[in-house]
Amino acid sequence: MSHIQRKPPSVQPTLYLRQVELGEMANYVYLIGSTTTKEAAVIDPAWEIDRIVEIAKADSMTITHILATHTHPDHVGGKLYGLQIQGIAELLERVDAKVIVHRAEADHLTPLAGSNIVRVDHGDTLHLGDVAVTILHTPGHTPGSQCFLVQDHLISGDTLFISSCGRVDLPGSSPEQMYDSLTNRLMKLDDKTVVLPGHNYAAGRTSSTIGEERKKNPCLQYRSLTTFLRAMGNA
């Protein structure tokens, strides 16, 4: 009698993911990693560094990486509107971690992170134990804005919000690049992808999906760059 061996179904590594609203500008800070190896990354740690460290410790996670969606002070630390925000520099005093930033903005982080900086580009992959994080370069809000795709979750920073997108009227912003990032990068993702934005700008809604944003987000309803620019006040 022959014996048929069936391959066991593939199982995704168990994802560790925490979303925490911190600071005075309704920022979301994320902790992601592997529950198997207990390695974790913190995304955009600008505010309440003690609390971030305490959360990781309570969950028995070791912070090995710091990920920056972009280098505005409310996401990485520094001076903003007269405030000195703690940010990455203070976190590095507490943990030994590599700082992942897009190469277009790496120089902005040198005063905060120094030799800890790792420059990345679109399509690069970071491994947190057995959990893979894919880098998506999404310029528009800033030249080096990037999103992080981990399993079926997109941590979208200030590129894509729930029912809106990031500002394109700031120094270094580009409405043309924002349109391209939204249309040709993020809208290519599966509709079921969970969207986790960089700020709580949606009246307490903490997440959405690509499919929902595709249908309802006003910033994603423009069929051409010309109409998008006109809506953004740049035509």
List the pLDDT tens digit at each of the 235 positions of the chain. Answer: 334 444 444 556 799 999 999 998 999 999 999 999 999 999 999 999 999 999 999 999 999 999 999 999 999 998 877 777 889 999 999 999 999 999 999 999 998 999 999 999 999 999 999 999 999 999 999 999 999 999 999 999 999 999 999 999 999 999 999 999 999 999 999 999 999 999 999 988 999 999 999 999 999 999 899 999 998 887 5
Specify if 4 maps to a domain: no
Determine, yes or no, domain membership for 1. Answer: no
Write down the pTM of the prediction. Answer: 0.92
Give the integer Cα–Cα distance in Å for 140 and 158. 9
Q: Is residue 37 in a domain?
A: yes
Q: Domain with 200 in it: what CATH number?
A: 3.60.15.10
Which residues make beta-bridge pairs with 198? none
Which helix or strand (DSSP H or E) is residue 182 part of?
helix 175-184
- The boundaries of the domain holding residue 77 are 15-231
Domain count, the chain: 1
Rounded CA-CA distance 76/66 in Å is 10
Note whether residue 124 is domain-resident.
Answer: yes
Q: How far is the C-alpha of 138 from the C-alpha of 69, rounded, in Å?
A: 9
Is 146 contained in some domain? yes
Dig out the tokens for 71 from the structure. Answer: 């280098």
Hey, is 150 helix, strand or coil?
A: strand
Residue 164 lies in a domain: yes
Any domain includes 9: no
Residue 93 falls within a domain, yes or no?
Answer: yes
